[in-house]
A and B are shown apart, each in its own frame.
Chain A
Amino acid sequence: MSLHMALLLAFLLLVIVVATSVGAVAIPAGVLLRSLAGRGPLTEAERTILFTIRLPRILAAAMVGSALSVSGLLFQGLFRNPLADPYVIGSSGGAVLGASLGVFLLPPVSVAGFGTSALLAFGGAIGSIFLVYALASVKGRTPVVPLLLAGFAVSTMLSYSSYFLEVLDRDFGTGMRVLTSWLHGTIVQPTWPQLAIIGLMLGAGLCACAPLAHRLNTLALGEEYAAHLGLHVQQTRVAVIVVGSLLTAAAVALGGLISFVGLIVPHVMRMLLGPDHVRLLPFTAVGGAVFLLIADTAARTVVAPAELPVGVLTACLGGPFFLYLLRKAKTEAFL
């Protein structure tokens, strides 16, 4: 493991400790560390806050950030376009629509209350990516303008058609509240079994990325050239879409539509480490966790005891960054 990776992991640990101690009820970091060391146990209230509220929320934020960032990295490689991310190209929108169908229409026959939703979110994400890909690709390339247009159209269409489901809402309100928080991008307060499901999806997705990373490097040369070099382009493309959609679905199930994370994190990592996907993959996974954990901690503390949707924060940070990239892309020939 490289020094850089060790530093990033140490930073993640530090952020977790800080995020654990701050909140509506502060638990000083010193108290936390002492109790970890087995000296000075926590009060009953502190234990409850820690294990049923704060730690699950922190894990959820870290996992959502990681999943969004890695799927952003995958989609950027697949579309050969540094402006792709699950939110921009519509896979998040597809996932939200899928997940809402699960909430509104299906009986909760699932493990831990949202197994079906997660599954439908996965289906929605895959469907929307195939749709955007088909709309935006010209001779195996996906130029920036068609990609952004198709992504914007599909994304808006899918996320807002979720509102139609309001009329089908049988128990007036609960489903709608869930949907609204999804569309704003709020990390839900998850239960441990829910975290386990999402953890499995994230773990499986990250493992599946390992053989894909170097293939994305080859794919960067263009599909035709990659095929000449012996890459199975079609298989690689489908694998990337499936894995990217799995990760998007995992993120959406816990956090809804959180914009631009999948854009910013891979970009910053690429600026720091260069464009080699093999190197970028682990750093993007950990960096994404750090980024969204910081953003979510800010979202739940800056206006405490009220809470901002974390999607509001990432949009305010990510929007300008996206515009900056678009501006830069105009002046650089390699888009």
Chain B
Amino acid sequence: MNELLAFADVDFGYGERTIVSDLTMTVTRDACIALIGPNGVGKTTLLRLAAGTLRPRAGEVRLHGQPLASLRQRTIARSVALVPQDVAVPFPFTVEQFVRQGRTPYLGLFGGFDRDDRDAVERALDLTDTARLRSRIFNQLSGGERQRARIALGLAQNPQLLLLDEPTQHLDIGRQMEVMELIRQLAAQGIAIVATTHDLALIEDTFSSVWVLAPDRPLEHGPPRHILRSELLEEVFHCPPRRGSLLREPLLVRREAMQ
């Protein structure tokens, strides 16, 4: 069985508002999924359900077949890492001090680091190419560097599943492509990935599957070529009438075209 994380009849909402209902989906060990949908539809909520920080109203989310509700958060955080959109750090932590926080689910009473902890931090810094930034102040990094440091914190958790919330937000096209390259590398390392994104043009080269979350309709999913169709996207994103295709130009800039 190749199943890593499973949503089983999951129902969740805030008060009257339903975000997902009867959601049944599986994330396999080799998944590389882009989660798209209009603003405010609940993409981040779905990631939080997967990370165990939100509990479904009905149904359950299972990790390796075990309901998240029956697992301690420490246990979940050793397998599933959620990298939030933005992390506000009130103190001038260095990148290394920041990334070390990813070891929290492994630490004992006094928070001492052992060899495994140090190795995991080094590996995370190397994978994200942030080792040379280790002594820089996290708050003073550029947007792209900060995103890589955030991903490094998630990798320090040593996860099998990495949940990325808008990893390319506020980045220029070059930095966006760096992040996508990093995602491809991590996927090649055997880490399953679910990333929310609004950069539809960058999906096809990186992700093997797309989930579309939209209000009042069941979750659509499939390979990028099947999902990234103008009719579906225009409907889901409520695009105003326009001439030409939504994807071809100027939205979808193929990599070949840029090189």
- Seen from chain A, the residues whose Cβ lies within 8 Å of a Cβ on chain B are 80-82, 141, 210-211, 213-215, 217-218, 220-222, 224-231, 270, 274-276, 278, 332-335
Contact assessment for B90 and A334 in the assembled complex, using a CB-CB cutoff below 8 Å: yes
Contact assessment for A228 and B92 in the assembled complex, using a CB-CB cutoff below 8 Å: no
Contact assessment for A270 and B91 in the assembled complex, using a CB-CB cutoff below 8 Å: yes
From the candidates B82, B87, B110, B157, name the one contacting A211 in the complex (CB within 8 A).
B110
| A229 and B77 in contact, given A214-B110, A221-B101 (Cβ under 8 angstroms) | yes
A218 to chain B, nearest CB (A): 5
**Pairs A–B under 8 Å by Cβ, sample size 8:** A81-B90, A82-B91, A221-B101, A225-B87, A228-B53, A229-B102, A275-B91, A275-B92
From the candidates B53, B101, B104, B111, name the one contacting A224 in the complex (CB within 8 A).
B53
Contact assessment for A275 and B97 in the assembled complex, using a CB-CB cutoff below 8 Å: yes
Q: Which residues of B contact A270 (CB under 8 A)?
A: 91-92
Complex: how many Å from CA A210 to CA B157? Answer: 23
Contact assessment for B51 and A228 in the assembled complex, using a CB-CB cutoff below 8 Å: yes
Which residue on chain A has the smallest CB distance to residue B157? A229
Contact assessment for B101 and A80 in the assembled complex, using a CB-CB cutoff below 8 Å: no
Which residue on chain A has the smallest CB distance to residue B74? A230
Which residue on chain A has the smallest CB distance to residue B102? A229
Residues 64-89 of chain B, each 1 if its beta carbon lies under 8 Å from chain A, else 0: 00000000111111000010100111
Contact assessment for A221 and B89 in the assembled complex, using a CB-CB cutoff below 8 Å: yes
Which residue on chain B has the smallest CB distance to residue A214? B111
Which residue on chain B has the smallest CB distance to residue A217? B101
Complex: how many Å from CA A82 to CA B110? Answer: 23
A180 to chain B, nearest CB (A): 37
| A230 and B105 in contact, given A211-B110, A214-B111, A275-B97 (Cβ under 8 angstroms) | yes
Given contacts A214-B111, A334-B91, 18 further A-B contacts (CB under 8 A): A81-B90, A215-B111, A218-B101, A220-B89, A220-B93, A221-B87, A221-B89, A222-B87, A225-B84, A228-B51, A229-B73, A229-B102, A230-B73, A230-B104, A230-B105, A270-B91, A275-B97, A334-B90
Complex: how many Å from CA A11 to CA B107? Answer: 34
Complex: how many Å from CA A278 to CA B93? Answer: 13
| A230 and B84 in contact, given A80-B90, A217-B97, A334-B92 (Cβ under 8 angstroms) | no
B91 to chain A, nearest CB (A): 4
Residue B176 lies at the interface, judged by CB distance under 8 Å to chain A: no
Q: Which residues of A contact B76 (CB under 8 A)?
A: 230
Residue B94 lies at the interface, judged by CB distance under 8 Å to chain A: yes
In chain B between 102 and 121, which residues have their CB closer than 8 angstroms to a CB of chain A? 102, 104-105, 107, 109-111
Q: Which residues of A contact B88 (CB under 8 A)?
A: 141, 222, 334
Contact assessment for B90 and A218 in the assembled complex, using a CB-CB cutoff below 8 Å: no
| A228 and B77 in contact, given A275-B93, A334-B88, A334-B139 (Cβ under 8 angstroms) | yes
Q: Which residues of B contact A81 (CB under 8 A)?
A: 90
Q: Which residues of B contact A276 (CB under 8 A)?
A: 93, 97
Complex: how many Å from CA A213 to CA B110? Answer: 8
Most buried by B among A80, A210, A217, A229: A229
Contact assessment for B51 and A82 in the assembled complex, using a CB-CB cutoff below 8 Å: no
Q: Which residues of B contact A335 (CB under 8 A)?
A: 90
Q: Which residues of A contact B52 (CB under 8 A)?
A: 228
From the candidates B53, B89, B109, name the one contacting A227 in the complex (CB within 8 A).
B53
Contact assessment for A274 and B94 in the assembled complex, using a CB-CB cutoff below 8 Å: yes
In chain B between 125 and 152, which residues have their CB closer than 8 angstroms to a CB of chain A? 139
Which residue on chain B has the smallest CB distance to residue A228? B53
